[in-house]
Structure 1
Amino acid sequence: MIHIAAVGTGSIVEKMIDAMHQVEGVHPCAVYSRSMEKARSFQLDQAYDSLEDMLRDELVDAVYIASPNSLHYEHTLACLEAGKHVLCEKPFASNLNEAEVMQQKAEDTGLILMEAITTTYLPNYQQLHSLIEEIAPVRVVQCNYSQYSSRYGKLLNGEEPNVFQPAFSGGALMDINVYNLHFLAGLFGRPDDVQYRAAMYENGIDTSGTALFSYKGFSASAVGSKDTAAESFVQIQGENGSIRIPGGANGCRVVEQWTNEEKKIHTVDQAENTMVYELDFFRRLVNGEETDTGIRQTKLVMEMMTKARESAGIRFPADRKNRQPGE
């Protein structure tokens, strides 16, 4: 049994703890929050308002990190230093440099480090490689994940939600377009060119934007929006047909294939809580049943995101060279 503690108390932690109750071989044992009241509200075995105290708990085997984006780096390094395996929520880090340091620390300690990203581990996503071969050559790919955020309204009212703050490495690209980038990276690899066109708030953060990727023979666009609501979808167009995924890359609930005006549905039933798939893969990694942590794809996505931000002039305090944990 792998005993997993959580860092953070947002809704995504609630969803992951629910997944832990569904996946055999893992047990949610503790929550760390700066607020003891919030930590206790999860009603797990232990609640901590000190990360150091939690990491000294010998019953904790692994840590799920869901703190603000800018803290993933230092929290991951602290957990690995304490001998804990780490499942780190997307986006993995603030930039590629941090991701490389985190990977090196995992290698030095011999511990498992994996990004918690639903898309990669979904059964319906994993069947796309073979379906794409049937419609190839690919000519156009469109990804759109648009979801109006209640926190955007708070931003407009003068509040400062973490997700829209450069200090916390926030923004639409980092928060939701990351799903689209993982979708593309896992299927098509490294693009030849990366550009990002964003709607910018006065504090220098992107509230929505379109990332453009050039591949050999085709282009791909990835829209991520937290300031508008629209249909989320993925569409892959090839000379011999097309594939459409209503609902977007983060769920992949339905896969439609169109060939010669004939529509086929290639859909595998998936769990309601799609986080069970990434969690079960993490369990297998820790138990030695799998060896590929997905770090190469994670680093590729961080490279794509870093280049996208650079093209749009979006910079975070975390981008300072040689930043040390805690700075």
Structure 2
Amino acid sequence: MIKLGIIGTNWITEQFVNACDITKSFELTHVYSRTTQKAQQFIDDLKKTEIRVSTDLNEFFKSDDFDTVYIASPNGLHFGQAKLALENGKNVIVEKPSTSTVREFTILDDLAHENKLFLFEAARHIHEPIFKKIQEYVDDNRSELSGATISYMKYSSRYDAFKAGKLPNIFNPKFSGGALYDLGVYTIYDAVVLFGQPDKVGYTPEVLSSGIDGSGSLTLKYPDFDVNMLIGKTKNSYLQSEIYFNKKTLLMDSGGDITHIKLADENKNITTIPTQKSDNPMDSEASEFARIINENDQETYEKLLKYARIVNRILEQARTSAGLVFGADEEK
């Protein structure tokens, strides 16, 4: 198995490590955290032993006990950590969004190619069998495709703290927070993978006192149809997401964590499309990234990179059109 280092000791990191164990794709060997105590607690919770711990990033990346790093730190830290990883010869799997700006993504993209390394943006849902089933249906019925409405809104566990006067990273422009750069990434990936690059992008956010978007409506305009998106971290939505094929409609229960899909015909008859869904939604992602590295599958890798480039461009276009400013915008 590929030796893995990780940055971040939160629930999503634990989920990724568990997915690696289940799929036998990566083997955890090294954990970086700001404190030894936090790293050791994370390791103990995973019931692992003989895992090295670092509290210094330079020491972490100069070690030779892993060759791929998984980065799950706050958004605003992704670029600096991924850049340091690539400069030290490590493949990078970085949680979405991989960067805060197109400039940052371009630097990482160029650096990965120069050093013949892999740079993966961890948009895990596009690798799941259930999403592949949606993609298959869209491809088979593309001549009838006439638009989509995609919704992904979940009340953040950090929003109560924000309302109480605190400033969690996810609501902080310094750390590239907000609905668009969190749940919005999923919906944009949906559109890019299924429909391609849009012609125009427009975003209307509800801006919080910290200067980031708590929720908003995003429109991607294509030559023959529009894709409308509702995203948010300050409220819950139970709307289905829909893809339109003239008289028929493909129904998804979510724009991000998709668990089932159905098809409605012109007579309102609804049938369930059989799909597979793993207990751990990161299984498919871990397996695919490991396969690409082991087989040096440059064709698939470049396809994923193309998606990531487009998604990061859309994110920046949407954000800047709405006047949302990140700390990373000032770092030239």
TM-score bin, normalised by smaller chain:
over 0.9
Tell me, yes or no, if the aligned pair for 2:30 and 2:65 is still in contact at 8 Å: no
Match for residue 278 of structure 1? Answer: 285
Instruction: List alignment gaps of at least 5 residues for structure 2.
Output: none
1:67-216 alignment to 2 at 5 Å?
A: 67-132=73-138, 133-134=140-141, 136-216=143-223
Identity between Structure 1 and Structure 2 (%): 29
In structure 2, the CA distance between the partners of 1:32 and 1:244, relative to structure 1 (3 Å rule), is: same
* Post-superposition CA distance 1:222-267 (Å, at most 9, x none): 1111100121532011214110011x13222211112233323223
Cα distance in 2 between the residues matched to 1:23 and 1:90: 21
Whether the 8 Å contact between 1:12 and 1:66 is mirrored in structure 2 is yes
Residue deviations 1:262-281 (CA, integer Å, cap 9, x gap)? 32322322211111111111
Q: 1:227 to 1:305 in 2, by over 3 A?
A: same
Q: Which moved more, 1:262-271 or 1:193-202?
A: 262-271
Matches within 5 A, 1:254-293: 254-261=260-267, 262-288=269-295, 290-291=297-298, 292-293=300-301
Determine helix, strand or coil for the equivalent of 1:212: strand
**Quick check: 119-128 or 231-240, which moved more?**
231-240
Give the partner amino acid of 1:315: V
Normalized against structure 2, the TM-score is what?
A: 0.93
Alignment partner of 1:273: what SS? coil
SS of the residue aligned with 2:24? coil
276-285 or 232-241: which moved more?
A: 232-241
2:245 to 238, 242, 248: 238
- Whether the 8 Å contact between 2:118 and 2:293 is mirrored in structure 1 is yes
Matching residue's letter, 1:141: A
Q: Structure 1 CA distance, aligned partners of 2:257 and 2:172?
A: 26
Distance 1:40 1:64 in 2: 17
Task: Give the CA deviation at 1:285.
Answer: 1.6
1:274-324, Cα deviation, whole Å (9 max, x unpaired) = 1111111110121025322211100100011101001110011202363xx
Match of 2:310 in 1: 300
Deviation, structure 1 residue 122: 1.2
Shift of the 153–81 alpha-carbon distance from structure 1 to 2, 3 Å rule, reads: same
Tell me if the contact between 1:80 and 1:106 (Cα under 8 Å) persists in the aligned partners.
yes
The 8 Å contact of residues 71 and 92 in structure 2, kept in 1 or not, is answered as: yes
Report the TM-score, using the length of structure 1 for normalisation: 0.94
Within 1, Cα distance between the matches of 2:261 and 2:25? 30
Q: Distance in 2 between matches of 1:72 and 1:115?
A: 11
What is the RMSD of the two structures over their aligned residues, measured on CA atoms?
1.5
Secondary structure at 1:222's aligned position in 2?
strand
Do structure 1's residue 312 and structure 2's residue 322 form an aligned pair? Answer: yes
Q: CA deviation at 1:130?
A: 3.3
Residues 45-73 of structure 1, C-alpha deviations (whole Å, 9 max, x = no match): 11211111211221111100111111111
Q: Which amino acid aligns with 1:64?
A: Y
Matched residues in 1 for 2:328 and 2:126: separation? 26
- 1:225 has 2:232 as partner: yes
CA contact (8 A) 1:135 1:241 kept: no
Paired residues in the alignment total: 321
Q: Which residue of 2 aligns with 1:325?
A: none
Question: SS at 2:166's partner residue?
Answer: coil
Query: What residue ranges of structure 1 are gaps of 5+ in the alignment?
Result: 323-327
Q: Distance in 2 between matches of 1:284 and 1:69?
A: 26
Instruction: Tell me which amino acid in the other structure corresponds to 1:29.
Output: T
Q: Distance in 1 between matches of 2:157 and 2:271?
A: 37
The 1-side partners of 2:266 and 2:275 are apart by: 23
SS in 1 for 2:6: strand
SS at structure 2 position matched to 1:180: helix
1:57-90 deviations in Å (ceiling 9; x for gaps): 2111110011111111111111111111110110
Q: Distance in 2 between matches of 1:315 and 1:139?
A: 34
- Measured in 1, the distance between the counterparts of 2:233 and 2:257 equals 17
Letter in 1 for 2:137: L
Worse overlay, 229-238 or 202-211? 229-238
SS in 1 for 2:274: coil
